[in-house]
Structure formats: structure tokens, C-alpha cells
Amino acid sequence: MVEDEPGQRLLGHPAVTECVVVEGEQMIAYVVAGDGEQPREFLAELVPLRRLPDVVAVIPVLPRTAEGAIDVAALPLPVVEGQRPTGGKGGFATAGSGSLMIGGTLLFGFLASATTNVFWPFSTDLSGVPLPWAALFFGLYLFEWASFGLGVMVLLRGRPALARLGRSAPLTTSAWLALTWLLVAWWPQDNLYRLAAKTDWPRQAALVYGFNVTLMIATAVLLVFVAGRRR
């Protein structure tokens, strides 16, 4: 949620009594105004085009928490031409976004599987492993590839979803990158570990500090994000 020039200007409209501006994939201004009012046209004359919200949604009342703060997560989904809301609260979702996430995850997961032996030859070789253990290890590889694919999609499209939760911009960016790292890191990490000799202490230490410690830090960042207060 942002409180900046568009929101301040909208409050200058004689029919606007309340306003909140939310930034994600698009900037959306929610206003409480009289019927038939066109606050976007009013705003277009007062702010630069780059700061003009993509959508100005007129709603009867701004939802609030028990403490009286604006409940960003409960804001209704505005409908604009060519787009429609898809389940859930508090955000703006384009049609087919779920299919795009699934398709992108499968695509990048497949690319990870196809290039594993290019980057780490023989790291996934199960020719000497008996069943059922070979099947179990192969299942692990599938999870790693899928996790990497999902992580790439989170990197490409995940920040707006976190932004809608109303935390500060630096914390939102940190959580977005932490979540991405928690997902993508398993693929390189496990392949490197499988190829590292148990007594290669310099390499083992590099892997621990390059992956294990950073994954712990990423988890801590997400805990701070979840526990953080909305702006």
C-alpha cells in the first residue's frame, strides 16, 4: 500500500471521502465516492502519467481490521476490460495466471532436468542403485527440478503478490528474493553435494556457507516478513 501523490490528490476530489492506493503488478486506487463520479479523469489532470493509477475502483467502503487499519487483503478485486478476478482476496489477478504459473514451473523444471548432466555430469546417475532406492532418489530429483521451476516463476511474477500483503517495500523485496532462493537453491545444492568428496573440507565448507547458511537466512527473512506489520 502506498500513500503518495495519487492518493493525496484523489482526496481533493469533492466527492471522495476515503482513498487507498495499492501497488503490485498494477497501481490500483480504491476510493469511496458518490455514484457516477469519475475520479480517474479528475486525477489525470493533476498527476504525471507515470503516477496515474491503472485502475481507480469506486467502492462503497474501505474494509478495516479490528484495530481500525485499512485491510488491504480484503479489498475487492477490480474488474477491467480484458481481465477478470480469479478467486481469493486482496489483489489483482489476470485471467489464466494460475495456468501460467503451472506452465512456467513445468517449463523451467524440464529445462533444469535437461541440463543437470550438462552442469554436473553423473550427479544423478542411478545405474548402480538398487530398487526401491533408485526410484526414491529419482523422485527427489523430480522435486528438485519442480522446485527450481517454481522458484524461477516466483522470481518473475511473485513480488506483486507479496506487495499486496502491505509490508514495507524493502522487506517485501527481501522476502521475494528469499522465497526465490529457498526454491531454486535445491537443484544446484544437491548436485554439488553429490559430487563433493566427504573429506574435501574446503569444498564442503564452501557449500555449507554458500547454501545451508544462506537458506537459514532466507527462512529468517520470511519469518520477519510474516510477522511484520502492515504499513
Give the pLDDT mean for 99-111. 93
Alpha carbon of 213 to those of 112, 185, 220: distances in Å?
23, 12, 11
83 or 179, greater pLDDT: 179
* φ, ψ dihedrals at 128, nearest 5°: -100, 10
Average pLDDT in the chain: 83
Domain boundaries, the chain: 5-74, 97-227
Q: Note the pLDDT tens digit of each residue in 65-94.
A: 888 888 888 887 765 544 444 444 444 344
Does residue 230 register a pLDDT over 50?
yes
Beta strands in 2-112 (DSSP E): 16-23, 27-33, 55-58
CA distance 104 to 112: 12
Q: Note the pLDDT tens digit of each residue in 113-171.
A: 999 999 999 999 999 899 999 999 999 999 999 999 999 999 998 887 887 777 888 89
- Peptide bond before residue 132 is cis, with ω within 30 degrees of 0: yes
> Of 59, 71, 80, whose CA–CA distance to 1 is shortest?
71
Does residue 38 register a pLDDT over 80?
no
Superfamily the domain 5-74 falls into: ANL, C-terminal domain (3.30.300.30)
How many alpha carbons lie under 13 Å from residue 204 in its C-beta half-sphere? 5
Write down the pTM of the prediction: 0.61
CA distance 189 to 144: 10
